[in-house]
Amino acid sequence: MSPGLSISVTGADEAATAIRAVGDRITGSFRPFFEVLGADWEAAFQGRIDMAGGETPWPPMSATRRRIRASSQTPGDFPLLRETGDLRASIVSTITDDALDVGTALPYAALLHFGGTTPPGSMVPGARVPPRPFVYLTNEQVGDAVDLLYEWIYDGEAGRD
């Protein structure tokens, strides 16, 4: 069985349809395409951590977090989700011939991304954490992915200038 393309994109139906239509004509490994696309998406997700939200700025640091930070060695204006660098470094691509997964496996990443309440046993149990999304694609990034796919299909390579 030759590899196929399975994609789920919410809110960008036209792009998803274009990607599926082109994917129906392809046989063989998607790995070269996924390697470039994965690197682009990793950089985008890491960039949101570096820029405290990027396109949509995150809520400011809470008073509790400011007090904790004041007693640490982390400067007050350092990006909120970069204190240790672990979250940023955990964003990686997992690539096979027919699948690309870009994200993080850190247990606390979902709480930081979606928001919620800190669990018992955490530094500040029961604290409300506002959502600070960092793993998502903009419409422009979805369009860039479609352009990159067409480039890979018709030119035989996927790359960035």
Alpha helices in the chain (DSSP H): 13-23, 31-50, 63-70, 86-90, 109-114, 139-155
Q: Can you give the pTM of this predicted structure?
A: 0.74
Per-block mean pLDDT, blocks of 10 residues, the chain (161 long): 52 68 66 92 93 82 76 68 86 92 93 93 89 92 90 69 51
Neighbours of 60 (CB within 10 A): 11
Exposed/middle/buried for residue 58 (C-beta within 10 Å: 0-12, 13-18, 19+): buried
Note the pLDDT of residue 57: 84
Which is nearest to 23 in space by CA: 8, 41, 10?
8
Helix (H, G, I), strand (E, B) or coil at 74: coil
Note the pLDDT of residue 40: 95
Residues forming beta bridges with residue 92, ordered by sequence position? 103
Reading the block at residue 125, the tokens are: 């149990």
